[in-house]
Structure 1
């Protein structure tokens, strides 16, 4: 099965309710007071979410254009049938940075998952994550499988067991290829949910969340070095710094910035750059892409700065509703764009002007993402949420069926 470059963000978090700020009894990790004075930042998060949704949509578009224009030269030639020099000689190098959009998504995910979990029970957290992630993911797998098996695509015809394994979202630990290369981001998200659920189970407080950030940072560094396979699989070393920084930024947003939180962010930024620039074990294939390292440092630093601006309340006046609408399209756009988009390019790349094909395809995919979210994903998620809310999660036997 031919795979495109493995990159793509996943937008899996929504602005769900938050509870009352909880503090800590430990002086060294005591929560700073939440902003309550006139003109200060408020625990009300609604005004900030528009900025997060806007960033999430921009990150998704960056990845979409990366797949159309900026992939490795050999991948571009396999998909388009021509080298990138004949297609996008001037823009290819710029759109190649779109692969970094996934890092911005992980930052946003750490911020918003922490926010959405605050004040929730483990049951509510489980239901909110399952119904946010799986319905659209199943739709994406079914659509991608239909395209791959029924249409002439550059992806070959994988063994059907690949589809069944992918439907579980556990293909990485199962040792099975992703049906669509963009699915690789879902495993780090799942691991984040799994580990953070422990803190949710204990009850979210400033102290516990800060300690969680510290433990995860240490584990991400030590687990691979100590050759602990299970822990290495769970901590996701390359993506962990972004999630951790996002969590710390949310604590700044909910309470106030402190030296401790800035220390967590600084350490995460340094580790993110270390892993990104690493010649061995990093996420970037330097044989296929060799950008100036300074641009990578700048882009990642800008990502951190943007989330910092939101955390500190500098974007509180951005409340445009269309940004929130764009945010709802992010996950469908991410899951549907690669197989469908690359198939369109594979079939029509030699018949249509490349720029016209890219612009029209992206516009069509954005429209498709909106329609799928509005008429398929959202109704499916609502029904699933109602069903899970009425279900028992205990080990006791359900009531016998009446005959």
Structure 2
């Protein structure tokens, strides 16, 4: 009882009072346990494990992008894919529904903010670097090589790539180099890379609740300023149209790891509004929907559902869902996303006139999922494991070498 009295009588410092006023946890004490109205941090095993529902959402996002490219693209793109006007292939209703698969990328980014924050927590900058490199490059290089072979060896509607284009794409820095993506879907890799590079600064300092909150706030301000500044370099680094989803995902992870607070809900709310703004802006945004799909209320509904789904995970409402097949599906997301476009469009271009369109789309999608599993199981995983072992065995040459004698 005396201990409780001492704690209650303790003088609250000005910094702590300021922290409390905006929803930050105390500066020098852990979050209060659930019995005192707070939510304890999740267990270590749970923090490091996979979240089945999150994996399922990630696979659903990838699948929606795949079907968008085959069924829901703009009329001009659909004619390029199928060789005839889209309304001669699919009904207007089907085309309108699958057009929303384009938003799967936004869900990707939202989940990425959650996952990267979760996987980086407690890791050193070295471990963070190893995890990101081994996660991205093995499968990406496999996809670039496979795509190049398809473009060179088969009669594809896409132009054969030039050597310098392939080389630039292998670096994953083709966007800042001003080189075309070998596959149009690669455009999302640059915002991801920028997120990793920016977030690495926080990892270097050590991840804490306060530091991630400050990072979210600074990135939000930078995104708003860069959107209106028209400074190309700033926009290239900050990625204002993608940033709100990464930021919202990080805030959701803080809710999951600690507890919801007013400042976290404020970050999520601002990210949601900025995401909608860039989505609905006819000029200056990433999606110019007004030119071909003007019914915007559905865009608002879809984005709202994305944030609501990740919020349910962050609040622990889906914790009992532990189906292993969802986690397996989650591992197929990256390879499926990388390989589906050029390979799929090449197949459609060859057999679009000979096979029923829906049968072709369904069988092609199933085949791509199977190919993604084979690549993940026998290419990505072994190479990634070997890369991690190799990088962990050395110091990257960062230590000062001994002087030459």
TM-score (norm 2): 0.89
Task: Say if 1:34 and 1:254, in contact at 8 Å, map to a contact too.
Answer: no
Unaligned runs of 5+ residues in structure 2 are 1-14
The answer for the alignment partner of 1:214 in structure 2 is 217
CA contact (8 A) 1:333 1:365 kept: yes
Choose between structure 1 and 2 for higher RCO, CA contacts under 8 A separated by at least 6 residues: 1
Aligned pairs for 1:4-403 (under 5 A) are 27-29=17-19, 30-31=24-25, 34=31, 36-37=33-34, 42-43=42-43, 44-45=46-47, 49-89=51-91, 90-286=93-289, 288-396=291-399
CA contact (8 A) 2:278 2:286 kept: yes
In structure 1, runs of 5+ residues without a counterpart are: 1-24
Change (3 A) 1:28 1:60: farther
Structure 1 pair 49/305, CA: closer, same or farther in 2 (3 Å)? same
How far is 1:154 from its partner? 1.1
Superposition deviation, residue 392 in structure 1: 1.5
Partner Cα separation in structure 1 for residue 400 and residue 186 of structure 2 = 36
Secondary structure of the structure 2 residue equivalent to 1:91: helix
In 2, Cα distance between the equivalents of 1:61 and 1:270? 26
Q: Which residue of 2 aligns with 1:14?
A: none
Query: In the TM superposition, what whole-angstrom CA distance separates every residue of 1:155-197 from its partner, at most 9, and x where no partner exists?
Result: 1113221100000000010000000000000000000000000
SS at match of 1:45: helix
Residue 20 of structure 1 aligns with which residue? none
Q: Once structures 1 and 2 are overlaid, which stretch shifts more, 220-229 or 266-275?
A: 220-229
Whether contact under 8 Å (1:216, 1:235) holds in the other structure is: yes
1:87/1:354 contact within 8 Å kept? yes
C-alpha contact (below 8 Å) 1:31/1:255 kept by paired residues: no
Report if aligned partners of 1:62, 1:95 keep a CA contact under 8 Å in 2. Answer: yes
- TM-score in terms of structure 1 length: 0.89
Give the whole-Å Cα distance in 2 for the aligned partners of 1:77 and 1:229.
33
Which residue of structure 2 lines up, in the alignment, with residue 10 of structure 1? none
Distance in 2, Cα, partners of 1:214 & 1:133: 27
Structure with larger Rg? 2
Aligned length: 377
1:74 shift after superposition: 1.1
What is the rounded CA distance, in whole Å, between the counterparts of 2:51 and 2:241 in structure 1?
26
Q: How well do the aligned residues superpose, as a CA RMSD in angstroms? A: 2.0
CA distance in 1, matches of 2:321, 2:236: 38
More helix by share: 2
